[in-house]
Amino acid sequence: MAPHAVTRLGRRLLTVLAGWMLVSSVTAQTDNTSLESQRAAFKQAYAAASQGGDSWRQFAAGLRNFPLYPYLQAASLEHDIQLIDRPTVEAYLRQYPDLIPADDLRRHFLQELARRQDWDNFEAMYQPGLGDTLTCDALQAKIADGTPLDFNKDLASLWTTPALPSACDPVLQAAHDQGLLTRERLWARIDIAADAGKGGSISGLVQWLQGDDVPVAQRLALALSDPASAVAAAPTWPDTARSRQAATLALVRMARRQSMTADTAWQKLQNQFQFAPSQRDSILNALALFHATDYDSDALARLINLPASAQTDVSREWRVRVALAQQNWAAVLAAIDAMPPALQQNDEWLYFRARALSELGRSSEAQSAYATAAAQSSYFGYLAADHQGSPYSLCVAQPVVDPQGEQAVLAIPGMQRAFELFAVGMPKQARREWSQAMANADPQTLRQAVNLADRRGWYDRAVFTFNNGEGLHYYTLRFPLARQDGLVSQAQQAGIDPAWAYGILRQESAWMSDAQSGADARGLMQLLPSTGADVARRNGLPWAGAESLYDPTVNIELGTRYLAQMADRFDGAPWLASAAYNAGAARVKQWLDARGTLPPDLFVATIPFKETREYVARVMYYSVIYDWRLHGSAALMSARMTPIGQPYSRPDAQDPRKDVTCMTPPVVAPASSSPGTATSAPARPTASSSSAPATDKAH
């Protein structure tokens, strides 16, 4: 072929290719425009459907093929649940038998039928496995039919549940009236409730006991609901197995709140009752443990002298914490040596072993121990790396993007609904669709699904999916930057380190913008509405009410200002402000009054609340990860952990920084006691912090 012919052919090919690219671009833009218009129409239709009736249909004319169309009618039916009939519901269930809205509609309509006591229709629509409330409603329907209950068939599985919903009360009463609640069955359930700490369940069962069983069960209920009163009454109880059970429960629960009072009571009761060895161990463990969380003067001696049968991993850890509070380094080393080998390999105890060896002047051993700890990618690993002067360990991987795999994910109807629900601002429903669609997915499919979610700004999917194994190394996905939410600029305006603000956000909500706690803290940085209003007022920012906290931009603007306020109370120290953000500034002040002379790493390790200890460690670790993500290197962990009372300055360009590298932890044999390691030591008196909630201490 002549050269000029080749040129003409090339030009024609280029022209065709250019035309194809133009058409593809226009088509893609048209598709995107069409999709956006469908999403807008869906939002209008869903708002109308949520008000009931059929007005939503006028907005949904072009949405028949939109993945979320089934949600519209379901929303309308849910609103009108008290008005609709069974044929209407069944028609929807037949049309969308496998969808989440259909499951919800069935459940809610069954609840409505139970409220109406329309048992015929209830039985026609009921399916097992819908929860204890509906299970008991179904048994009520059976009773209404005049069918006798069968304990093994109808009640056996419910009987092992420590607490049941009120819907079960009529069922239990009917079972009693039919003679099914024998003494043996009642006591079996009482023991289950006692082990679970459900005093209310025991009180509900007392009505069906007879004779001497009544006061015996009442003692158990009292021990759980009011341990102080139970301990006060215990000297009048007979020395029986059930009295010993009640006394044990009461002493253990009292120890959590009033360790000194419980100790005095134990001195009296241990001679009155012939406690079983396991009961004595339980009581001794609780007394030692909660004297330790109060940092009483004899706490270390108690833990050292605790019988081996009464020790637990928690009590062994608290033996280290009390020794750390006293800065008794020989006792610290002895306590770690006394741990089981597997527990010794925890990164916290690897670090404090090295710390103790260093304080005891055993420098060579300390450096070797620091090297072992520094191979860990964690708060303690990075503290160890600072002691040793080594880089931070971070083994970073990235899941391979597989276009075909992504297309396969997008072809799954449930994932189509999940992504569209997220796009229209319904993240809770989106997560449910995701969970159902990915329930049995293989790792490769999950990785491609997370890649797709990340590109759409759905960041919490990586946090919850990549939480073990190889997925832990996908740091860029697990720790997104999400600059579009303005965190960096807002943190800088507030005068705080953006990496720290990112760390708080990541810990508080795991990037769920609709997160809501039991205390009503909301959004990415988990602000209470009252806090949000106060911060807005202090900073002259607009406040549009509690619902605005679900807007990431608003939440971050207010959250960074609140962090700045908290930091100002503690000389700017992010680690102390983090503790206050979690536990409250008043509690942190109490801990500072008691142990404010400790170095930061020891202070964190001796925080009485497990939740707050771990919270501070995670936030400071996350801060390093985010610093690396923002800058490619990280300010030193030790620079973030400023000594108590010393002003903190956020990192700048002149501060030392560290690179990250992937280090393989060395294989080490379990440590054993070394010559010169003390097995006991006098305890130093410390102030009490017994005001901490029992549920948060010593776990």
Q: Which residues carry out catalysis? A: 508
HSE-up of 539 (CA within 13 Å, CB side)? 22
Evaluate whether 379 touches 620 at the Cβ level (below 8 Å): yes
- Containing 604, the helix (H) or strand (E) segment is helix 600-605
- Please, which residues have CB within 8 angstroms of residue 592's CB and are 6 or more apart in sequence? 576, 644
Evaluate whether 473 touches 395 at the Cβ level (below 8 Å): yes
* SS3 assignment, position 527: strand
CB count within 10 Å of CB 100 equals 19
Task: Give the Å distances, CA to CA, from 243 to 218, 237, 316.
Answer: 10, 6, 30
DSSP 550-603: GSHHHHHHHHHHHHHHHHHTTTT-HHHHHHHHHH-HHHHHHHHHHHTTS-HHHH
Evaluate whether 303 touches 648 at the Cβ level (below 8 Å): no
**Tokens standing for residue 200:** 């209310």
**Tokens standing for residue 224:** 């759980």
- Please, which residues have CB within 8 angstroms of residue 622's CB and are 6 or more apart in sequence? 479, 502, 503, 506, 507
DSSP 634-695: EE-HHHHSPPTTS------TTS-EE-EE--PPPP-PPP---TT--S--PPPP----TTS-GG
Question: For residues 584 and 82, what is the distance between their CA atoms, to the nearest angstrom?
Answer: 44
Torsion of CA 495, 496, 498, 499, to 10 degrees: 160
**Tokens standing for residue 183:** 């003494």
**Tokens standing for residue 316:** 């062994």
Question: For residues 259 and 289, what is the distance between their CA atoms, to the nearest angstrom?
Answer: 9
- Please, which residues have CB within 8 angstroms of residue 398's CB and are 6 or more apart in sequence? 474, 476, 477
DSSP 452-497: HHHHTT-THHHHHHSSSGGGGG-HHHHS---GGG-HHHHHHHHTS-
Task: Give the Å distances, CA to CA, from 410 to 206, 406, 687.
Answer: 56, 6, 60
Strands 657-658 and 634-635, by their bridges, are antiparallel
DSSP 8-state symbol, 106: H
**Tokens standing for residue 594:** 């008691």
**Tokens standing for residue 223:** 């021990």
Question: For residues 347 and 384, what is the distance between their CA atoms, to the nearest angstrom?
Answer: 10
* Helices then strands, each counted (H, E), the chain: 37, 4
- Containing 156, the helix (H) or strand (E) segment is helix 156-159
Question: For residues 393 and 495, what is the distance between their CA atoms, to the nearest angstrom?
Answer: 29
* SS3 assignment, position 142: helix
Torsion of CA 377, 380, 381, 384, to 10 degrees: 160
Residue 655 backbone zone (phi > 0: left; psi -120 to 50: alpha; other: beta): beta
For the chain, the straight-line distance linking the first and the last C-alpha, in angstroms and rounded, comes to 83
Strand ranges inside 391-515, DSSP E: 392-393
